[in-house]
Structure 1
Amino acid sequence: MASTSRRSISGSYGSDNVTGEYFCECGLRAPLQVSNSIANPGRKYYVCPVKRCGWFKWADPSIQHSEVGDDRSCQLNSNLKSIERDKNLHTNVMFLKLLAFLRLVVSIVCIVLVIILLFKL
C-alpha cells in the first residue's frame, strides 16, 4: 500500500517539483545519476533504482524534448547504430562475394583436373 501512495505522490511532482526528488513507477526514490554514454556525456538523469519498471527522466528540462523518446540524442544514437549496421552489412557482403569467387575458382580448378585425368586414361 505504501508503494501506491508514493506512486500517487510522484504524479504530483512535475516541472514544479519543489523537493527535487522523483519516484519511479515502482514507488522507489529515483536517484540522480550522470550519463557516460557517447551521445549524452555528463548529462544528468533520474532512473528506477532497480530498473524494474523502466522509468526514466532527464534532469535537465531545457534539453529534454519529450518524455516519450523524441529526444535528439536518441536519434543521434540511432543514426550511429544505423551507420555501424551499414558498415557491418557492407563488410559481410564483400566477404560473401569473396567466398563466392573462391568457390568459382576452386570449381574451375576441379573441372580442369578432372578433364586432365580423363585424357590421361
Structure 2
Amino acid sequence: MGRIKTKITILLVLLLLLAGGYMYINDIELKDVPTAIGQTLSSEEEEYTIQEYKVTKIDGSEYHGVAENGTKIIFNGKKLNQDLSDIKEGDKIKAYFSKSKRIDGLIKVAKVND
C-alpha cells in the first residue's frame, strides 16, 4: 500500500512540474486563466456602465443618491421592476446603465455589501 501512495505522489509532482513548465514556456500567468466568475464580470462590464452611489433619501418608491464625485441620481424603484426593499438610507448601491441604449438610462440597481 505504501508503494502505491509513493507512486501516486511522484506522478502528481511530475504532473505539476509539467503544467508549470508549460505555463512558463508559453508565458501564461494564473491571472490570465479564465474562470466562470471572471468571464461573467468582464461580460457584465462590457454591457453596462456601472456607477456607485450612496443612498441619501428614500421618498416612497423614489430613491435619491450621490456619488463620491458629487454626481446625483434619482430613480423610481417601481420602474425598475425589481425588489429594492433591502436598500436603506446610507447604503451603497451600484447603478447599471446600458452602454448600447443610453436613452433607456438606468437598467438595474444592486446593493453593495461592504
TM range (shorter): under 0.3
Output the TM-score relative to the length of structure 1: 0.26
Q: Which has the higher contact order (CA 8 A, sep 6+)?
A: 2
Using structure 2 for the length normalisation, give the TM-score: 0.27
Specify the structure having the higher radius of gyration (Cα).
1
Q: Counting helix residues as a fraction of each chain, which structure ranks higher?
A: 1
Higher strand content, 1 or 2: 2
